[in-house]
Amino acid sequence: MEPSWNSTKGRLRSHIFRAWTACVVLGGYVYAWVYVPEVLTWWKRTTTKAIEAGCDMLPYPWGDRIEATLGNFGLWVQITLAIIGFRFLMWLVIVALRRIWTAHNHRPSGSLRLPQEDGR
């Protein structure tokens, strides 16, 4: 089986996207820590409430266990959720831009313009 350059480019693009989004979120976290700590307080309370609400839907021993476990990993859960949310937003933007780009530059394949159609 021959290695495919297209699959290599796809994997490289994927890793660059992942690294870029993670670095942007971590940079935003540091910026918020220095300049707008109330945003981090809001994010912590929001994620904690979401974890509690999700675990309340589970039966007795499991909800408490999972809530305690996720609570111990609180900072990592918050950062991971922020990265996932940012990646989803960037994916939506990229999909929208691709659709706009293809709609703008789309010409039916195989069609040739005749000189009469060009207005010459």
What is the 3 state secondary structure string of 20-81?
HHHHHHHHHHHHHHHHCHHHHHHHHHHHHHHHHHHHHCCCHHHHHHHHHHHHHCHHHHHHHH
pTM assigned to the model: 0.72
Q: pLDDT tens for residues 39-92?
A: 999 999 999 999 999 999 999 999 999 999 988 888 898 999 999 999 999 999
- Cα separation of 103 and 26, whole Å? 35
Check if the beta carbon of residue 81 is closer than 8 Å to that of residue 47.
yes
Q: Tell me how crowded residue 25 is: count the other CB atoms within 10 A of its CB.
A: 19
- Cα separation of 99 and 103, whole Å? 6
